[in-house]
Chains A and B, each alone.
Chain A
């Protein structure tokens, strides 16, 4: 991989990523307040500006991200419980809109969609024609209610898709057109650990507007000029000192409630020197290699390119789709053999990439502490427990040659 000019060396502490465009607002920008009707008007204003509004909504027993038409589509009064391999919703005794931790989806589903046509090929009258912009105008998304970790994940995927010498054009088109109305977390999930990765629960970068839900409405911070315009159009008034204090308190209390505090100091080096640790084999006994963790991870970007042809042989299509380092076929190289044949080597790849080699590649770790991979692992494997086990058994070696292959 080509290192980015801005890459820091492995082992340096993570810092907050800044967005790739300039923030338009100055330090003197007043904080705003919206009651429920004003927030409804804000959603309408986003739609009026031609955005496809994407927000949390209830589907299949989980909060997912999908198109939302208005307030009634948001998960009002719903809370969530998260644990390794378990997720459930609960009724809150208030009518908060963002009173739950995020479900399996993140902005990735829209900015880097699970399946995307890259090109179509046809041969009308025997002439081969390649059409690259196969899916027409890129959608303009307005994301509503993304959390701090999710914003950081977008900034990480920016480095992946836009940071190198080759820019991913379809990603760039969707990314540049997007609007972010983020929400500071007041009710973290039980698998969240953003306070340890330094990525939350406060939204600090990458938003147009960031809201904090308090009794009676939302306190809103302006991130960009467009964010200000949208707040103006919604009729958001200036927030009172009490409202601002209440919003600060709510997020501070949320941060205090996050009790998962992994020791991530020097974790990259710990992982690098433990490529042969027997912990990998022990986890592989449980790991289903199903790839759910990579699919829900907001930063994972691996994909496969698939070609299909029509029966008549007159049209063909090239598309890309989410893939995972956990699937054996994904590790096949020219000649047909897998480079990571064992489940242990694939599990090790995932964790070592997230916490060690990602940093070498992109200058920051690949984990934003959202806890999704823990919640949505059907085997209930908890990456923090695995990291702790590796640290506790630092230096142990297994005698199985298969797992000795270098990881970097």
Chain B
């Protein structure tokens, strides 16, 4: 961290719902600890203080969805020593990346009375598609424990370690009965990265992949299994085409299923 004083932390937002920032704001006591350990110099959702940088640690929420965000993200990178993207939007393009699978212009004309006023990119993409990112925290929203853990590790001067194992690992650790084996539910857990604490299976629901792909996921085999469970190929592919559909791994698997537009 930079010499003297406390490390300077900045939080920025691109195209997103603010849910990830809220994970920080809702952190109660841990937020006070954090405010004591770092100097929060830019965080529009929390404070009117805004300093231009440089920042020691920068958190970005949201995807790159407009031309101005593209400029902004490059600028932020230049002013940041350690850049962390948080959430499905910032790490994979988010749910708004569904437009990447369609004709964005056509969608805009269907939704807005004056689409010509929009300044929007054709695609919604991850921050790391445009600038170097030092750490990606997946999830919709990010897991608070994982976010605070990553910040704590950075403050301790170590590299945060995030597991890339699938949700199944955590689901089994917590002793939840497998929804796929017991109830035949099409669950994305086997190809989705752990970090959420197997939240959906905890409530008997199938994982819908909000943490994005685990490392080297075998998506094709899982889609085959969904077919055995009675889903059509299209229904199976739609499970994947949701919050993290534009992650490289899920995108590649979907391309196999549905030839590109």
Contacts and interface: CB of A to CB of B under 8 A. Distances in A.
Interface of A: 59-62, 64, 66, 85-88, 103-105, 109, 114-115, 284-292, 295-296, 306, 308-313, 316, 321-324, 327-330, 343, 375-380
Nearest to B176: A60
A321 B197 CA distance: 13
Contacts of B258: none
A288 B151 contact: no
Given A104-B172, A309-B152, A328 B215 contact: yes
Contacts, number: 147
Contacts of A377: 181
20 contacts: A60-B182, A60-B204, A66-B175, A87-B182, A104-B177, A105-B175, A286-B221, A288-B166, A292-B190, A308-B149, A308-B152, A309-B155, A311-B152, A323-B169, A343-B218, A376-B181, A378-B178, A378-B181, A379-B190, A379-B222
A64 B173 contact: no
Contacts of B33: 310-312
Given A60-B176, A308-B149, A343-B218, A313 B37 contact: yes
A328 B175 contact: no
A379 B225 contact: yes
Contacts of B217: 288-289
Interface of B: 30, 33-34, 36-37, 148-149, 151-153, 155-156, 158, 161, 163-166, 168-169, 172-178, 180-184, 187, 189-191, 204, 215-218, 220-222, 224-225, 228
B189 A109 contact: no
Contacts of A308: 149, 152-153
Contacts of A328: 164, 215-216
Given A85-B181, A87-B182, A378-B168, 4 more contacts: A308-B153, A311-B37, A376-B181, A379-B190
Nearest to B30: A311
Contact of B221 (A86, A313, A321, A379): A379
A366 B222 CA distance: 28
Given A312-B33, A313-B37, A329-B165, A114 B175 contact: yes
Given A290-B166, A311-B33, A329-B165, A61 B228 contact: no
Contacts of B163: 327, 329
Contact of B36 (A312, A323, A380): A312
Contact of A109 (B148, B165, B175, B218): B175
Contacts of B215: 327-329
A292 B177 contact: no
Nearest to B183: A61
Report the 5 A-B pairs with minimum CB-CB distance, sorted nearest first.
A295-B172, A60-B177, A114-B173, A62-B177, A290-B190
Given A310-B33, A324-B169, A378-B225, A59 B177 contact: yes
B182 A288 contact: no
B41 to A, nearest CB: 17
Nearest to A284: B218
A295 B173 contact: yes
A310 B189 CA distance: 29
A31 B85 CA distance: 66
A284 B168 CA distance: 18
Contacts of B189: 290, 378
Given A104-B177, A114-B172, A291-B165, A312 B216 contact: no
A136 B177 CA distance: 29
B156 A313 contact: yes
Contacts of B181: 85-87, 375-378
A62 B181 CA distance: 10
